[in-house]
Amino acid sequence: MANASRDPILLTPGPLTTALSTKVAMLRDWGSWDSGFNAITATIRERLLDIVSAQGSHVCVPMQGSGTFSVEAAVNTLVPRDGHLLVLINGAYGKRLAKLAQMMGRRTSVFETPEDVPTTAADVERLLAGDRSITHVGLIHCETSTGILNPLVDIASVIARHGKRLIVDAMSSFGALPIDAQASPFDALIAASGKCIEGPPGMGFVIAKKSALETAAGNCTSLSLDLHDQWQYMERTTQWRYTPPTHVVAAFAAALDAHAAEGGQPARLARYERNCDMLVSSMKSLGFRPFLDPAIQAPIIVTFHAPADPRYTFREFYDRVREKGYILYPGKLTQVETFRVGCIGAIGPDEMRQAVNAVRDTLTEMGIERVAPHDVK
């Protein structure tokens, strides 16, 4: 039966289900040059630095648009036009990072592992020793296309020892997984409003090493995505260069309040881990098999093999689960058929259990008898 009494719960990696207090914060209109709104922006910038222990060494520069806008801004601004970026790939977002760097005209090399194999520090050690022209390394901390977790601390250590610069896409990890700017040196760490802080989508941000940003003037080939100009303008005026997503910014501030009230990053991680544990154990009881080994699975989004039964189609499966109040996410792999279930958002283990119940009922409705993939007896 469809649940029309509330919005569907978004079991996706963003946009995601937000708390009522975050939604309410979007009901007020703000002037983009108003001192009250500028104070919200300034507070957000400081609080985001605190989450990754980056005060003093780094600055936070928010940007309009999706997270990818901020990834592009960071690469285009911080990698010099004669720089050489090595991109570490084990999923769709690593490929996107390499593509946007190439489109900017930056020299780009890639190292790609299978989608269920994390990049290792030994891989990076070998790559940097073999090509001294590399100036920057791009890493996806948690690859959202599968949920795989790459070893940020170990990789950052190798990059620092070689005197190279690290750019981290932390889109699906910031605010939930532990990150320390002092323990894992980086020139840029990029995330967005609609992920683990549990705000609405529409704003990205770059936590950039101040010394790197200070020398980046003139690197960027885009007007609106020039991170250095955005930073300088905010420092000089307290305002955004161009029209900001005012309602999103205000709601994101409310989401940061909720993040702190919950207990910050450790508490947010603990809830997501409970969500993930509930999801995986309950789905296994129905016969589903996760794509990743538990040792490399981040508690952010879980990829499951699709049912082997010929009656299964994702479109019907999705629609029937949605009618019951839960929105899943399609798979993003090219070799095997999968679907994904997010563990993040303003939800807890009870919602995960109810979502699995909806999946169970859907399997019955579709007459699906074989859930395990063909290689599992």
Cis peptide before 114 (omega within 30 of 0): no
Residue 377: its pLDDT value, please?
45
> In terms of domains, do 157 and 101 share one?
yes
CATH code where residue 300 lies: 3.90.1150.10
**Residue where one domain finishes, among candidates 239, 261, 283:** 261
DSSP assignments along 316-369, one per residue:
HHHHHHHHTTEE-EE---SSS-EEEEE--SS--HHHHHHHHHHHHHHHHHHT--
* 127 located within any domain: yes
The dihedrals phi and psi of 55, each to the nearest 5 degrees, come to: -60, 135
Q: Based on the fold, state whether residues 213 and 275 are members of the same structural domain.
A: no
How do 9-10 and 338-342 pair as beta strands?
A: unpaired
pLDDT at 7: 87
CB 309 within 8 A of CB 337: no
The Cα–Cα gap between 68 and 192 comes to 9
Q: Which pLDDT score, from 0 to 100, does residue 45 have?
A: 98
Query: For 4-114, where are the alpha helices, taking DSSP H only?
Result: 20-24, 35-51, 67-78, 92-103
Identify the CATH number of the domain in which residue 190 sits.
Answer: 3.40.640.10
What pLDDT score was predicted for residue 4?
40
Residues 145 and 268 placed together within one structural domain of the fold? no
From 237, 261, 285, give the residue that closes a domain.
Answer: 261
Look at residue 169 and tell me if it is in a domain: yes
Rounded distance between C-alpha atoms, residue 120 and residue 88, angstroms? 10
Tokens of 199: 């705000």
pTM of the model: 0.94
pLDDT of the chain, 377 residues: tens digit per residue? 234 447 899 999 889 999 999 999 999 999 999 999 999 999 999 999 999 999 999 999 999 999 999 999 999 999 999 999 999 999 999 999 999 999 999 999 999 999 999 999 999 999 999 999 999 999 999 999 999 999 999 999 999 999 999 999 999 999 999 999 999 999 999 999 999 999 999 999 999 999 999 999 999 999 999 999 999 999 999 999 999 999 999 999 999 999 999 999 999 999 999 999 999 999 999 999 999 999 999 999 999 999 999 999 999 999 999 999 999 999 877 678 999 999 999 999 999 999 999 999 999 999 998 898 756 54
Number of domains composing the chain = 2
Q: 172 lies in a domain?
A: yes
Token pair 């009522």: residue: 20
Dist CA 295 CA 285 (whole Å): 20
Taking a C-beta distance cutoff of 8 angstroms, is the pair 191, 171 a contact? Answer: yes
* pLDDT of amino acid 332: 77
Which region, left, alpha or beta, applies to residue 263 given φ > 0 means left and ψ of -120 to 50 means alpha? left
Q: Is there a contact between 189 and 206 (Cβ–Cβ < 8 Å)?
A: yes
* Residues 77, 207 within the same domain: yes
Domain enclosing residue 160, as ranges: 21-261
- Looking at the structure, tell me whether residues 295 and 332 fall in a common domain: yes
Domain match, 57 and 197 both: yes
Say whether both 272 and 288 belong to one domain. yes
Specify burial of residue 122 (Cβ count, 10 A radius: 0-12, 13-18, 19+).
exposed
Q: Are residues 280 and 254 in the same domain?
A: no
On whether residue 375 sits in a domain, the answer given is no
Q: Is the dihedral of CA 216, 139, 268, 2 positive or negative?
A: positive
Q: Could you tell me if residue 179 is inside a domain?
A: yes
256 with 278, same domain: the answer is no
Same domain, 241 and 310: no
Residues 42 and 107 in one domain: yes
Point out the domain boundary residue: 243, 261, 279.
261
d(CA 328, CA 321): 8
SS3 241: coil
One domain, residues 69 and 208: yes
Collapse the DSSP code of 14 into the 3-class scheme (helix H, G, I; strand E, B; otherwise coil) and give the result: coil
Q: Is residue 376 part of a domain?
A: no
